[in-house]
Amino acid sequence: MIKAILHEACLSMTGNKLRSFLTTLGIIIGVCAVVMMVAAGQTVQNIIQERFVAMGSNLLIIRSQRLRTAVRKSEPMTSITLDDALALRRLNGIDVVAPVLSASAQAVNGSRNWQVSILGTTPDYMKTANWELERGRMLNEQDIRRGTSNVVIGHEVMTELFPYEDALGQTFRIKKQPFKVVGILKEKGSSTGGANQDASVMMPLKTVQQRFNRFAKLNAINHMAVKFVETEDLNIVEQRITRFLRARHKLGDDEPDDFRIHNIAEFVENIKLIGTVLAILLAAIASISLVVGSIGIVNMMLVSVTERTREIGIRKALGAPNNWIMLQFLFEAILISMVGSIIGLVLGVGLSQLGGYIYDTKVPFSLWPVILSFTVAIVVGVVSGVFPAYKAMKLDPIEALRYQ
């Protein structure tokens, strides 16, 4: 019985190829969009997660949790200082501490200019930021101690300020002050926070304090990157740092921390959650076309019922049971949806992989889009086919035979 019904459903689909194709088009577009959106969400999630993991599981970022109230305008609105970073280096289990003082300014070379992010730090920052040098050298202890004008620039700064000449050894200006390029970083792209890392200019912390920071004497910094010994337990290190900084900041037992410690594991978990929510949201938006596709199936099946009224009447007159009639039209709707889902799945996976090839990015492939597409096919087919199938089942055979 089922085999015969499926055979008739296939004959009905191939009997009017153009109408069947136009009906499945909505399902094809819908499933293709869902698969591509899910793949895009997973790809973004994986890229960000890989960047975090590359930094190492023993990396901590310490930032101000709240701004202190400034009594005078000469006081910095921050809760962590360079002295905190220097003192933290002596704490048991700490390997590297890199203080960071950032600013934003316009870099100028002749008639060319570019907005850059200034990073005042120490050579230890390279150990925490996972940056690689393309040419030249990094800042050294002599640069840091003297507060020299030597800088290491990002790839974008090089291409924008020195498009026709070798940037290494060249001089450019920031706020009318000259800086010499001693190193060029490899292209890195945007950070996990969305900042353009290739527009960075890395210079000695002392240089930024003296030339771009009015709070230099108070040793204010934006944050510090801390790497601890890998054999140490993350939670124990965090607790140790928390107690240490609370004691330095003279915080009472009833006062909250004026700093926040972020760890890579925390970032990775947050990224996983954001990625999952993003994939679901994108898939939900793309699913709108599935709704349109299901409406198309309903309309086509209703037209089919109307065109085959006499056929239904003859079948009933010859003794075909109502459930046979209903299953025939229901299977037709499911078959149309199934074919559209398979084509949409193949297109979605193919276009996703093509996009990954074009942008040189690995696009993950998982089984659940396959499962999703077949589930969608069955659900959409059943939902779209129930009403037309029920209408066909309820046709009166005498009235159906009179239909012209």
In this structure, the chain runs to a length of: 404
130 beta partners: none
Residue type, 41: G
Question: What's the rounded Cα separation, in Å, for the pair 123 and 126?
Answer: 6
Q: How far apart are alpha carbons 363 and 38 in whole angstroms? A: 10
Are the C-beta atoms of residues 182 and 137 closer than 8 Å to each other? yes
The reported pLDDT for the residue numbered 69 is 45
> Do 184 and 134 touch, CB atoms closer than 8 A?
yes
List the one residue out of 300, 359, 400, 375 whose CA is nearest residue 12.
300
Q: How far is CA 340 from CA 59, 131, 219, 257, 344, in A?
A: 48, 47, 64, 57, 6
With a CB cutoff of 8 Å and minimum separation 6, the contacts of 214 are 74
Amino acid 130: pLDDT: 77
As a whole number of angstroms, the distance between CA 194 and CA 189 comes to 9
Residue reference for tokens 């079948």: 315
Q: For residues 60 and 224, give the distance between their C-alpha atoms in angstroms, rounded to a whole number.
A: 8
| 8 Å CB contact between 237 and 67 | no
Distance CA 365, CA 240 (A): 42
What DSSP string runs through 258-308?
Answer: SEEEEEHHHHHHHHHHHHHHHHHHHHHHHTHHHHHHHHHHHHHHHHHHHHT
Among residues 273, 275, 293, 294, which one has the least CA distance to residue 283? 275
Question: How are beta strands 150-153 and 223-228 bridged, if at all?
Answer: unpaired
Res 384: pLDDT: 80
Task: Give the β-pairing of 177-185 and 150-153.
Answer: parallel
Q: What is the pTM of this model?
A: 0.62
Per-residue model confidence as pLDDT tens for the chain (404 residues): 566 656 666 766 676 777 778 878 888 888 888 888 888 877 877 777 776 666 666 889 898 875 444 444 444 456 788 899 999 999 988 999 999 998 889 999 999 999 999 999 998 888 887 788 999 999 999 999 999 999 999 999 999 999 999 999 999 999 999 999 999 999 887 655 556 889 999 999 999 988 887 555 557 788 999 998 877 888 899 999 999 999 999 999 898 998 999 887 777 777 778 777 877 777 677 677 777 778 888 888 888 788 777 877 887 777 777 777 788 778 888 888 888 888 988 998 899 999 888 888 888 777 776 777 677 767 877 888 888 877 877 777 767 666 65
DSSP assignment, residue 208? H
